[in-house]
Structure 1
Amino acid sequence: MDAGKKKIWVRGQFVEVTDEVYTAYMRGDRKMRYFEADLKSERPVYGSNGEIKQVLPSREDSLDRLMEENARQFAAAAESVEDVVIRKLAVDKLHTALMQLTKEERDFICALFFDEKTESEVAKGLGVSQQAVHKRKNRILKKLKNFFE
């Protein structure tokens, strides 16, 4: 064998190569063994007195576990772009419809739906019966419904 030449095993036979090729091959071979074996096995970490200090778990993960974890992590967390756009358009249309109402009607609807007051609470504030508030609410909602049709 010439000086500066080494042999590597390729496809069932030894091949003579230069030192640079040998070094690159061995680096790649070691990296391949690291991914194939070292990551897949537990490794003990020894203390200064030679006893096992801790065990590093395998870094190999199963596809099933990753899928299950991913499903939990992202379940219903993200809304689709289409849903966001549809909701935005509906809100814009509702805002336009509310602007078609008189100021009193808008304040009335805001008290019931946005301030979450009951019909009885609104009735007390206006000094009318709950039935009157209910009828007025239905009239205003019918106006809004007609706007959307």
Structure 2
Amino acid sequence: MARPYRIPNFRKMYPEASDEIIAVLRTTERKMQYQEYDLKMEQTIVDQTELTIEIIPSREDSYERLLDMDMQFQDESASAEDLAIRNFQAQQLHKALSVLSEDERYLIDQLYFQEKTERQLAAQLGVSQNAINKRRQRILERLRGLLKNI
């Protein structure tokens, strides 16, 4: 890794290279240094005429350092639009579930709300796991159709 702000002597490294290639290597090296060092380092600007010091923070910073500086972050809670959409979807799902038969609702409740596996439910009902899977797929297809019509 190159040391910061030191452009290597490409003429010495590649004596057979043309001046254009050396110029491109220097430009590329400077761009890489800009990405590796300049953007990541905090800069201090001292104005002698107005006797002020301005600190420009780095553009790339660690989360821990920002917390140490008591930086405030945006709350990750859902927006009002997201809450409204989720509420609307829940109402639609509730309407669609109310149309299902009691056996179908029981199966959906056990698999999705009680978090039972298909194998556990199959053992409880005395049927094969494959039968539970097929019923679940049929019910979900029916729910999708109902949700499109609501």
Q: Which TM-score band (shorter chain)?
A: 0.5 to 0.7
For 1:120, what is the secondary structure of its paired residue? helix
TM-score normalised by the chain length of structure 2: 0.52
Give the aligned partner of residue 10 of structure 2.
Answer: none
Aligned position for 1:113: 112
Q: Which amino acid aligns with 2:120?
A: E
Gaps of 5+ in 1: 1-61
Deviation at 1:68, TM superposition (A): 6.6
- C-alpha distance after superposition, 1:47-73 (max 9, x if no partner): xxxxxxxxxxxxxxx9x76997211xx
Higher Cα radius of gyration: 1
Detail structure 1 runs of 4+ shifted over 6 Å in the superposition.
none
1:54-73 paired onto structure 2 within 5 Å: 69-71=71-73
Alpha-carbon distance, 1:148 to partner:
1.4
Q: Give the match for residue 124 of structure 2.
A: 125
Query: In structure 2, what is the equivalent of residue 148 of structure 1?
Result: 147
CA–CA separation in structure 2 for the residues paired with 1:122 and 1:111: 7
Spell out, residue by residue over 1:4-45, the C-alpha distance to the aligned partner (whole angstroms, 9 max, x if none).
xxxxxxxxxxxxxxxxxxxxxxxxxxxxxxxxxxxxxxxxxx
> Quick one: which amino acid aligns to residue 131 of structure 1?
N
Aligned length: 85
Q: Which runs of 5+ in 2 are unaligned?
A: 1-54, 58-65
**RCO higher in structure (CA 8 A, sep ≥6):** 2
DSSP 3-state at the match of 1:116: coil
- Name the CA distance, whole Å, in 2 between partners of 1:123 and 1:103: 17
Residue type of the alignment partner of 2:110 = A
